């Protein structure tokens, strides 16, 4: 994976750039002025980050794996220690599928019923490959989402969720909080 040089990232006009960034040269960014990247962020090949009015805010120690996308007009927040597996899609905007409105961005907004809503992922959230998160969803701290899940409602902290639509299937252990504290202490 080719990594973009710091100077290249700075010239792209991001809202904020942390330290130790590993951003693939094959990732795509749209509206960089509305995208903030924390420190120790890795974004792999063929990811798309397309920020709308609300922007995209990526915390520290975040990994976004290959082919993932973050798209929409609402704000998308990935807090510290989030991990998106390959082919994860996060939408803060979606068309109305009811038939009451027309769809797609080639049609004037007055004829569409696009819904925009913020998406928030708390610390230590992990999303399994091929999963989709829809507008207005909040995943609280420590949520884990299984592969190929559809997250269309908010998920309370430290649960493991899976399915279409995603449902809480069990509790997630909290040992990772102690590990995170030790990790951060080791960094000085």
Model confidence over 11-41: pLDDT tens digits?
A: 999 999 999 999 999 999 999 999 999 999 9
What is the chain's Cα-based Rg? 17
- Nearest Cα neighbor of 139 from 174, 179, 168, 177 is 168
pLDDT in tens, the chain (188 residues): 899 999 999 999 999 999 999 999 999 999 999 999 999 999 999 999 999 999 999 999 999 999 999 999 999 999 999 999 999 999 999 999 999 999 999 999 999 999 999 999 999 999 999 999 999 999 999 999 999 999 999 999 999 999 999 999 999 999 999 999 999 999 87
CA distances in angstroms from 60 to 41, 77, 134, listed in the order given: 6, 12, 23
Predicted local confidence at residue 168, as pLDDT: 98
Predicted local confidence at residue 5, as pLDDT: 98
Sketch out the chain's domains with CATH numbers: 6-186 (2.160.10.10)
Q: How far apart are CA 177 and CA 64, in angstroms?
A: 21
Backbone angles phi, psi at 175, to 5 degrees: -55, -30
pTM exceeding the 0.95 threshold for the entire prediction: yes
């Amino acid at each position: 994976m080719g990594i973009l040089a710091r100077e290249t990232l700075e010239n792209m006009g991001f809202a904020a750039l942390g330290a130790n960034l590993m951003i693939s040269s094959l990732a795509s960014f749209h509206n960089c002025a509305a995208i903030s990247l924390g420190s120790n962020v890795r974004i792999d090949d063929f990811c798309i980050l397309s920020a709308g009015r609300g922007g995209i805010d990526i915390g520290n120690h975040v990994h976004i794996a290959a082919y993932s996308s973050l798209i929409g007009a609402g704000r998308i927040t990935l807090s510290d220690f989030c991990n998106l597996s390959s082919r994860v899609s996060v939408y803060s905007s979606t068309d109305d599928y009811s038939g009451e409105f027309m769809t797609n961005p080639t049609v004037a907004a007055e004829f569409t019923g696009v819904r925009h809503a913020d998406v928030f992922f708390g610390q230590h959230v992990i999303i399994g490959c091929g999963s989709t998160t829809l507008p207005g969803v909040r995943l609280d701290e420590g949520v884990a989402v299984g592969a190929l899940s559809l997250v269309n409602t908010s998920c309370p902290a430290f649960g493991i969720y899976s399915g279409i639509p995603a449902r809480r299937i069990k509790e997630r252990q909290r040992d990772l909080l102690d590990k995170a504290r030790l990790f951060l202490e080791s960094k000085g």
